Amino acid sequence: MQTLTPVSACRHTTTIHVTTTQVTQFIDLTDRLERLVADADLRFGIVNVQTLHTTTAIIVNEHEPLLLTDFQALFEAVAPGAGRYQHDDMQARTVNVTEGERPNGHAHCRALLLPPSVCLNVTGGRLLLGRWQRVFLVELDGPRERDLSVIVFGETGR
Amino acid sequence: MQTLTPVSACRHTTTIHVTTTQVTQFIDLTDRLERLVADADLRFGIVNVQTLHTTTAIIVNEHEPLLLTDFQALFEAVAPGAGRYQHDDMQARTVNVTEGERPNGHAHCRALLLPPSVCLNVTGGRLLLGRWQRVFLVELDGPRERDLSVIVFGETGR
Amino acid sequence: MQTLTPVSACRHTTTIHVTTTQVTQFIDLTDRLERLVADADLRFGIVNVQTLHTTTAIIVNEHEPLLLTDFQALFEAVAPGAGRYQHDDMQARTVNVTEGERPNGHAHCRALLLPPSVCLNVTGGRLLLGRWQRVFLVELDGPRERDLSVIVFGETGR
């Protein structure tokens, strides 16, 4: 364990915009997050990555293309795209109905089982990630325009 | 990206008490959380919402009543209420046995797949949530008395 | 709600090393985390516990041995160990291939449905946990050597 007197507070907030191109898609955010930590000169603290949508998620896992297809198969097993969802019954539904509403109950159900935000540690000026850990935005109802909020919070080296 | 010199630190901690009335229930906490951020005059930082129970969860998703019934169906598919759980075998169990113990293995299993806490960003004095994002306490073994802890942490505008 | 002027900032970062001994294993971290908060003399703030691996997770649930076998059964139902995963097809795979690669697609899929980090509140010098809440590292592809990062962040009582 290591205790240091804080030098000066540091906080940055940024929005990352992503245009997704597929129905289900994994967008690797890791390089962008590492750059944010470096640009902020954050020495110690946290990075909180939050999606601003209800049919997306933030996950941390390995970036191996075949594994990402396994994840898609898991989503399909847990909440089938062709399943029946009350949320998609436009005869019955009266709340939050918008024009051109997509049938996306399956995407909300998939998002329910994944985190909407992930809080990661920063120490020694580096976003702490294990050898295989990569941070992804998961698109579950694309293609769409998506926004994430990232907060970098802690002590600077300046 | 935006960097500002901190004005003054701000932190509030509060407990939210909820009396749930149904076996499975979604309690929308969003208005209360937004009020907490406003009352604290938090300009920049995080809000960490944590349940204090093992058969509840904190989720972020759309508040559309039919969708919430889809979520219940998903819980039932993933961990059926009528399934067999070792945790409910009172002949075999010796640990953490209390009087009037409910058979709630299914509720623990459902909670396992949902977050016990959610960390959300605050910027410009506002809890950052997308258009459809609402924060819920999910009751998985009600009715019960439940407590949540909320920490509001960052810089004030005062 | 309670507002106090900060006394002095406090932050500690530590790595916890765990040698797991079983394929699936739940390692209770709660006592160690409580000690970290006490040693840091953290009065108010957060503890962020993050795994550094992609086939592990951090969960909060009850420490009852039979319940942990229910969790194993749930993992097996959601992502069977004997299932077929593209990630394990070494004829097809070209990315991140290492010597002695284990077939562990099921473990990645299980990890996908569990949190890689958990952010918990500290108030009054105490890690806030409900009566039955315990924090676990979940090993999903053991036995292995595993590392966690813990950040303790907030105000000290000193």
Strand partners, C148: C16, C51
Residue contact B153–C45, C-beta within 8 A:
yes
Sequence-ordered list of residues with C-beta below 8 angstroms from that of B138, at least 6 positions apart, any chain: B24, B25, B26, B27, B56, B57, B58, B59, B114
Is the pLDDT at A12 greater than 90? The verdict is no
Q: Do C13 and A69 touch (CB under 8 A)?
A: no
What's the pLDDT score for residue B12?
87
At B7 the pLDDT is: 44
Q: The tokens of C1 are what?
A: 């709600």
Using CB atoms, pick whichever of C3, C64, C129 lies closest to residue B87: C64
Q: Residue range A129-154: average pLDDT?
A: 97
Half-sphere exposure of C75 (CA within 13 A, CB side): 28
A93 vs B60, B66, B114: nearest CB: B66
Task: With CB atoms and an 8 Å threshold, state whether B151 touches C123.
Answer: yes
Dist. CA B36–CA B47, nearest whole Å = 9
Q: Cα–Cα distances in Å, from B122 out to A150, B37, B129, B151? A: 10, 8, 9, 12
pLDDT band, residue B8 (cuts 50/70/90): low
- Read off the DSSP letter of residue B37: H
Q: What is the mean pLDDT of chain C?
A: 93
Residue C125, min C-alpha distance to chain A (Å): 17
Q: What is the pLDDT of residue C8?
A: 59
pLDDT exceeds 60 at position B2 = no
Tokens 């089982």: give the residue.
Answer: A113
Sort A71 into a burial class: Cβ within 10 Å, 0-12 / 13-18 / 19+: buried
Distance from CA of A152 to the nearest CA of B (A): 9
CB C66 within 8 A of CB B86: yes
Closest residue on chain B to C114 (Cα): B113
Beta carbons of A85 and B67 less than 8 Å apart: yes
Query: How far C87 CA sits from the closest chain A CA (Å)?
Result: 5
Distance from the B149 Cα atom to the nearest Cα atom in chain C, whole angstroms: 7
Q: Report pLDDT for B5.
A: 44
Residue B73: the pLDDT is 98
C115 lies within 8 A of chain B by CB: yes
Compute the average pLDDT of residues B91-119: 95
Residue C13 has pLDDT above 60, yes or no: yes
List pLDDT tens digits, range A51-77.
999 999 999 999 999 999 999 999 999
| d(C-alpha C27, C-alpha A11), whole Å | 34
**CB contact at 8 A, B7 and B158:** yes
Q: Test A54 with B1 for CB contact under 8 angstroms.
A: no
Q: Residues B75-85: what's their mean pLDDT?
A: 98
pLDDT tens digits along B13-67: 999 999 999 999 999 999 999 999 999 999 999 999 999 999 999 999 999 999 9
Q: What CA–CA distance (Å, rounded) separates A1 from C12? A: 6
Question: Can you give the pLDDT at residue A3?
Answer: 45
Residue A4 has pLDDT above 60, yes or no: no
- Give per-residue pLDDT as tens, C53-66: 999 999 999 999 99
ipTM of the complex: 0.94
Q: Do B12 and C3 touch (CB under 8 A)?
A: yes
Q: Kindly compute the dihedral angle of the four CA atoms of residues A65, A70, A75, A80, in this order, to the nearest 10 degrees.
A: 120
Cβ–Cβ gap A11/B154 under 8 Å: yes
Residue written as tokens 């019954």? A89
Q: With b meaning 16 or more CB within 10 Å and e meaning fewer, what string describes A12-43?
A: bbbebebebeeebbbbebeebbbebbeebbbb
Q: Which spans in B41-133 are helix H? A: 65-78, 105-112
For C41-55, the pLDDT digits (tens) are 999 899 999 999 999
* C115 interaction partners in chain A (CB closer than 8 Å): 115, 118
pLDDT the model gives residue A150: 98
Whether C11 sits inside 8 A of A4 (CB atoms) is yes
Chain B: list its partners (3+ Cβ pairs within 8 Å): A, C
Residue C47's nearest CA partner among B58, A152, B31, B48 is B48
**B147 and C CB contact within 8 Å:** yes
Which has the closest alpha carbon to A115: B25, B28, C121, B119? B119
Within chain C, how many helices (H) and strands (E) appear?
Answer: 3, 9
Rounded average pLDDT over B67-71? 98
Of residues C86, C149, C150, nearest to A69 (C-beta): C86
Flag whether residue C103 sits within 8 Å of chain B, measured between CB atoms.
no
The residues near A4 (Cβ < 8 Å, ≥ 6 apart) are A44, C11
DSSP string over C65-130: HHHHHHHHHHHHHHS-TTS--GGG-TTT--SS--TT----HHHHHHHHTS-SEEEEEEETTEE---
Residue among B11, B54, B92 whose CB faces C132 most closely: B54
pLDDT more than 70, % of chain B: 94
Taking the alpha carbons at both ends of chain A, their separation in whole angstroms is 22
Q: How far is A21 from chain B (nearest CA, A)?
A: 20
Backbone angles phi, psi at C16, to 5 degrees: -105, 125
Q: What is the maximum alpha-carbon separation in chain B?
A: 61
Q: Which two tokens stand for residue C4?
A: 């106090």
* Per-residue pLDDT at C14: 95
Closest Cα of chain A to C52: distance in Å?
Answer: 4
Is A133 an 8 Å CB contact of chain B? no
Give contacts of C39 with chain A, Cβ < 8 Å. 1
Q: How confident is the model at residue A6 (pLDDT cuts 50, 70, 90)?
A: very low
pLDDT value for B11: 77
Q: Per-residue pLDDT tens for C127-146?
A: 999 999 999 999 999 999 99
What pLDDT does C158 receive?
A: 60
Q: What pLDDT is attached to residue B101?
A: 87
Interchain pair B45, A9: CB under 8 A:
no
Query: What is the nearest CA distance from B102 to chain A, expressed in angstroms?
Result: 25
Contact A46, A126 (CB under 8 A): no
Say if the Cβ atoms of C95 and A45 lie within 8 Å: no
For residue B158, the model assigns a pLDDT of 59
Q: pLDDT tens digit string along C86-121?
A: 999 999 999 999 988 899 999 999 999 999 999 999
What share of residues in chain B are helix, strand, coil (percent, to 5)?
Answer: 25, 40, 40
pLDDT bin (cut points 50, 70, 90) of residue A158 is low
